Amino acid sequence: MIDRSAFHKLSSGLYIVCTESHDKFYGCVINTLLQLTSKPFQVSIALNKENATTQAVQESGRFTASVVDETMKLETIGHFGFKSSRDIDKFADSEYAVSASALPYIEKHCCAWFSCKVVNSIDVGTHILFIGEVEESATLDGGHPMTYEFYHSVKGGKTPPKASAYTGEDDEAQKGSAASAQETSSDDGAKKYGWRCKVCGYIVEMDELPDNYLCPVCGAGKDMFERIEL
Ligand code: FE
């Protein structure tokens, strides 16, 4: 048997991976960066084949990875983690720096960054595992690195369906909370309504959303929320 909760015991950090291809910048969030060797310095990252960033890394043969610290807002993580570079320019309104190899990387609310040249890649089914040799790296002024555990338990963050760590349990938890809310509402006979973010699935219990409401997980605006009965 496979106990999905066992995967929650694996500790990892959160990283923003960026690259450039055909004069366009790409970026996404992963929790799958690992140091492999120190002679030479090599790291691995796993990227979902459906991510626009994955194809861009294949084309450019290079990527940067910034280590997210605990101060990074969910909106920033959501901006890079829950939206597609096919749909938006993730760097249009984002502060970023540029590596010696002309790749973008995120400095703000990150505590270190790496720039890598792809030296090998392995097809692992839904994802491609890229092995990168580190060409440049530095620490930044950020605080403690954000662990995936901290992202979930303290920040209340969600796991996107295309992430390696996705198990579908966020969705089940949301259905569970909606079901228990329904039980409560049936007690007093009054229906409860809320709003669900169509980008990341976040549910907020509120009668009406303010016009300037932004999803606390992915940063999507009010127009991306659908009204649901709880
Ligand atoms: Fe959202």
pLDDT in tens, 137-159: 999 987 899 998 888 888 777 78
Confidence check: pLDDT of 169 > 70:
no
Neighbours of 181 (CB within 10 A): 17
Q: Average pLDDT of 108-127?
A: 98
Measured in angstroms, how far is the CA atom of residue 58 from the centroid of ligand 1?
28
Measured in angstroms, how far is the CA atom of residue 69 from the centroid of ligand 1?
21
45, 52 in Cβ contact below 8 A?
no
CA gap 63, 105 in Å, rounded:
9
* Alpha carbon separation from 15 to 31, 34, 149, 210 (Å, rounded): 6, 11, 14, 32
C-alpha count within 13 angstroms, C-beta hemisphere, residue 190: 4
pLDDT above 70: percentage of residues in the chain: 90
Q: What is the pLDDT of residue 166?
A: 82
Q: What is the pLDDT of residue 172?
A: 53
Measured in angstroms, how far is the CA atom of residue 220 from the centroid of ligand 1?
5
- Tell me the two tokens of residue 150: 């901290």
Q: What is the pLDDT of residue 88?
A: 85
pLDDT tens digits for 58-72? Answer: 999 999 999 999 999
pLDDT tens digits for 25-49? Answer: 999 999 999 999 999 999 999 999 9
8 or 176: which leads in pLDDT = 8
The candidate with the shortest Cα–Cα distance to 181, out of 171, 172, 195, 191, is 191
Q: What is the pLDDT of residue 185?
A: 43
CA gap 92, 85 in Å, rounded:
11
Measured in angstroms, how far is the CA atom of residue 178 from the centroid of ligand 1?
17
132, 35 in Cβ contact below 8 A?
no
For the chain, the helix, strand and coil percentages under 3-state DSSP, each to the nearest 5: 25, 35, 40
Q: What is the pLDDT of residue 189?
A: 63
